[in-house]
Amino acid sequence: MKSTANYHEALDMATQASKRLRQPMKLRDLSPTSQGGLSFPKAVCEENGWDAPCYVARGRYDDGAYVSIEPTSGYPEFKPILYIVIVVSGPKGGALTKNTKRKARKIFHDAYARVAGVYMGCIH
């Protein structure tokens, strides 16, 4: 839906997209860090044995049509240090992906689809 270096711009777009597409917004308790990017709360990082700040890219066992804000650092195909607003995650060419993309483009004419890999291996 949008890529921007400004988290608040991304949040505004995510809020609009959630309302206009009638899709839930799932920010996954991520919040901006002082270094740029997003992190889960420190307690979540520690519970999983990760150093804080920590982040796991959307698309790792959480496919679906919902609105989220993600840092581009989790997706090597994107320019670094941006926030992206995503409205669907799933297999390329899947019915959910196609239908959500079509729905988004009817309302947000500049919405675009982007295929990005998500690391699925061990993250400890």
Say what the pLDDT of residue 124 is: 55
- How many independent structural domains does the chain possess? 1
Evaluate whether residue 117 is within a structural domain: no
Q: What is the pLDDT along the chain (124 residues), one digit of tens a residue?
A: 888 999 999 999 999 999 999 999 999 999 999 888 899 999 999 999 999 999 988 877 788 999 999 998 877 788 877 899 999 998 888 999 999 999 999 999 988 887 776 655 565 5
**Cβ atoms of 13 and 85 closer than 8 Å:** yes
* CA geometry: angle 20, 93, 66, nearest 5 deg: 30
Evaluate whether residue 119 is within a structural domain: no
Q: Tell me the three state secondary structure of residue 71.
A: strand
**Cβ atoms of 101 and 113 closer than 8 Å:** yes
Q: Tell me the three state secondary structure of residue 31.
A: strand
Provide the domain limits for residue 29.
2-107
Say what the pLDDT of residue 116 is: 72
Evaluate whether residue 72 is within a structural domain: yes
Evaluate whether residue 116 is within a structural domain: no
47, exposed or middle or buried, with CB in 10 Å at 0-12, 13-18, 19+?
Answer: exposed
Say what the pLDDT of residue 123 is: 58
Say what the pLDDT of residue 76 is: 77
Evaluate whether residue 113 is within a structural domain: no
Counts for the chain of helices (H) and strands (E), in that order: 3, 5
Evaluate whether residue 63 is within a structural domain: yes
* CA geometry: angle 33, 39, 42, nearest 5 deg: 100
- The pTM for the full model equals 0.88
Going from the C-alpha of 36 to that of each of 5, 55, 80, 98, the distances in angstroms are 9, 12, 10, 31
Evaluate whether residue 25 is within a structural domain: yes
Evaluate whether residue 76 is within a structural domain: yes
